[in-house]
């Protein structure tokens, strides 16, 4: 469920294929995370994007009272290629840790097909899970690259084309889909952006890697209280998750952008 949530909103960098041909852009997004009205964390995502390559880094942590209970930190990194509007991840890595344990997942991909997965220390809770077949590891996105959503050049950034899509995601453990559907528009404001956003409803569909008797998986699969607002980035002709709200088993969780900026960058995206 953690990765499904992050895929919906924490990494909020959505970049398309219509990029400036002679330069790269750096996108920085800062998000606050709250649960039942209490601020529990924040996340910062940065992305370097060129006409044919991208690289995204995301760091999230608990803050305030939540940090006193558990010192959880998450770090994500993805890189890959952009080709004719298709997102083709080549590498993905995530490190999650608390006071007791730190675990790293590394995944190597080729044009959206998983070639190798390394989990350290090894994940032992495999019994009773729906097998993730090799066929299910083709034509997928990792959780961070899944946040790269292009909008066709002939379509407006705030409208149905911003939302209507299904993201096929694999995180090294679980294979799932996130389906977005257009629901309307509204006005928002934050440092770096103010204006209209597309409002999307979202549904979580477990495919494999989950346990059939998992209460949390069943809750998310039946969850109809998930919404994402996508803000436009004019130059790149892309949309960016500005706000995500979803009902969890612990109550309503909200992720809000408090800052979103786009600046010229001389950094070259590393796809390896």
| Predicted local distance difference test score (pLDDT) of residue 68 | 55
Token pair belonging to 267 = 């950094």
Cβ neighbours of residue 138 under 8 Å, at least 6 residues apart?
Answer: 112, 113, 114
**Residue 259 backbone zone (phi > 0: left; psi -120 to 50: alpha; other: beta):** beta
Tell me, what's the pLDDT at 266? 61
103 with 87: CB under 8 angstroms? no
- 4-18: burial string, b at 16+ Cβ within 10 Å, e else: bbbbbbbbbbbbbbb
Instruction: Output the six-digit token pair for 3.
Output: 């990765």
Predicted pLDDT of residue 222: 97
Residue 124: partners with Cβ closer than 8 Å, 6 or more residues away = none
Report the pLDDT value the prediction gives residue 23, as an integer from 0 to 100. 55
Q: How many CB atoms lie within 10 A of CB 67?
A: 14
Give this prediction's pTM.
0.85
* All residues at 6 or more sequence positions from 89 whose CB lies less than 8 Å from its CB, including other chains: 78, 79, 80, 109, 112, 141, 142, 145
Going by their DSSP bridges, the two strands 73-83 and 53-62 should be labelled as antiparallel
Which stretches of the chain are DSSP H helices? Answer: 2-5, 64-69, 160-163, 215-221
Here the tokens at position 18 are 């219509």
pLDDT number for residue 72 = 81
pLDDT score at 160:
97
Give the pLDDT of residue 240: 76
pLDDT of residue 19: 34
Backbone torsions φ then ψ of 156, nearest 5 degrees:
-70, 150
* Ramachandran sector of residue 33 (left: φ over 0; alpha: ψ -120 to 50; beta: rest): beta
Query: Mind listing the pLDDT tens digit of every residue in the chain (272 residues)?
Result: 444 344 444 433 333 333 333 456 778 889 999 999 999 899 998 887 777 788 989 999 888 766 655 678 899 999 998 777 678 999 999 999 877 889 999 999 998 999 999 999 998 888 999 999 999 999 999 999 887 787 888 899 999 999 999 999 999 999 999 999 999 999 999 998 889 999 999 999 999 999 999 999 999 999 999 999 998 877 767 777 889 999 999 999 999 999 988 777 665 556 65
Reduce the DSSP state of residue 135 to 3 states and report it: helix
Residue of 3, 16, 57, 50 lying closest to 165 (CA atoms):
16
């Amino acid at each position: 469920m953690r990765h499904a949530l992050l895929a919906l909103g924490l990494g909020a960098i959505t970049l398309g294929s219509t990029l400036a041909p002679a330069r790269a852009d750096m996108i920085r997004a800062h998000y606050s995370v709250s649960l039942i009205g209490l601020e529990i964390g924040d996340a910062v995502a940065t992305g370097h994007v060129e006409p044919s390559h991208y690289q995204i880094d995301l760091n999230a942590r608990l803050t305030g009272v939540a940090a006193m209970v558990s010192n959880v930190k998450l770090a994500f990194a993805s890189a890959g290629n952009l080709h004719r509007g298709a997102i083709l991840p080549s590498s993905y890595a995530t490190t999650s840790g608390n006071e007791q344990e730190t675990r790293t997942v590394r995944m190597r991909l080729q044009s959206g097909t998983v070639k190798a997965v390394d989990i350290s220390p090894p994940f032992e809770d495999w019994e009773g899970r729906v097998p993730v077949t090799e066929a299910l590891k083709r034509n997928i996105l990792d959780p961070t690259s899944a946040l790269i959503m292009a909008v066709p050049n002939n379509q407006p950034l705030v409208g149905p084309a911003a939302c209507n899509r299904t993201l096929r995601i694999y995180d090294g453990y679980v294979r799932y889909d996130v389906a977005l559907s257009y629901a309307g528009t509204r006005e928002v404001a934050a440092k770096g952006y103010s204006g209209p956003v597309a409002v999307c409803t979202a549904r979580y569909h477990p495919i494999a890697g989950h346990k059939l008797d998992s209460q949390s998986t069943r809750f998310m699969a039946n969850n109809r209280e998930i919404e994402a607002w996508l803000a436009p980035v004019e130059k790149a002709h892309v949309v960016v998750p500005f706000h995500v709200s979803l009902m969890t088993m612990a109550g309503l969780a909200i992720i809000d952008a408090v800052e979103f900026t786009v600046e010229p960058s001389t950094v070259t995206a590393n796809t390896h």
